[in-house]
């Protein structure tokens, strides 16, 4: 179970320039108005606000893509033979991916394992 509102998240900007990121399930008020949970938002005169909001809104998709990439990379390391230099570089990249996942899910235990093998003698 994740500790954040599941995606997809969306970005909206109102007529006053305020930017909001919404997500999760559609909720309904007692008078029938539908809305989504506010993930982030605010008023800013910074020209990067909308770009930052788009990055925030992409976070659930980016996290899911990284998880899949970590699994795919571990699979490759488990099933392919490669020269030591390629193996070491691939391991470094996998660790970067895992570190990024850990920033988003600090309690997540790595589900992907890499054997001690996988390297060739080339």
Residue 27 has pLDDT above 50, yes or no: yes
Whether the predicted pLDDT of 112 surpasses 90? no
Q: What is the pLDDT of residues 49-60, one digit of tens each?
A: 888 888 999 999
Across the chain, which distance is largest between two alpha carbons, in Å? 70
Q: Is 27 helix (H, G, I), strand (E, B) or coil?
A: strand
Q: Give the model confidence (pLDDT) of 82-103 as tens digits.
A: 888 888 998 999 999 999 999 8
Domain limits, the chain: 9-104
User: Counting Cβ atoms within 10 Å, is residue 21 exposed (0-12), middle (13-18) or buried (19+)?
Assistant: buried
Is the predicted pLDDT of residue 16 greater than 70, yes or no?
yes
């Amino acid at each position: 179970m994740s500790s954040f509102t599941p995606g997809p998240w969306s970005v909206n900007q109102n007529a006053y320039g305020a930017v909001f990121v919404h997500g999760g399930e559609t909720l309904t008020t007692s008078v029938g108005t539908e809305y989504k949970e506010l993930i982030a938002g605010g008023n800013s005169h910074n020209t990067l606000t909308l770009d930052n909001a788009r990055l925030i809104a992409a976070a659930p998709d980016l996290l899911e893509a990284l998880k899949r990439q970590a699994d795919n990379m571990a699979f490759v390391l488990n099933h392919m033979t490669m020269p030591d230099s390629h193996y070491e570089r691939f391991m470094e990249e996998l660790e970067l991916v895992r570190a990024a996942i850990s920033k988003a899910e600090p309690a997540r235990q790595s589900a992907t394992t890499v054997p001690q093998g996988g390297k060739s003698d080339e």
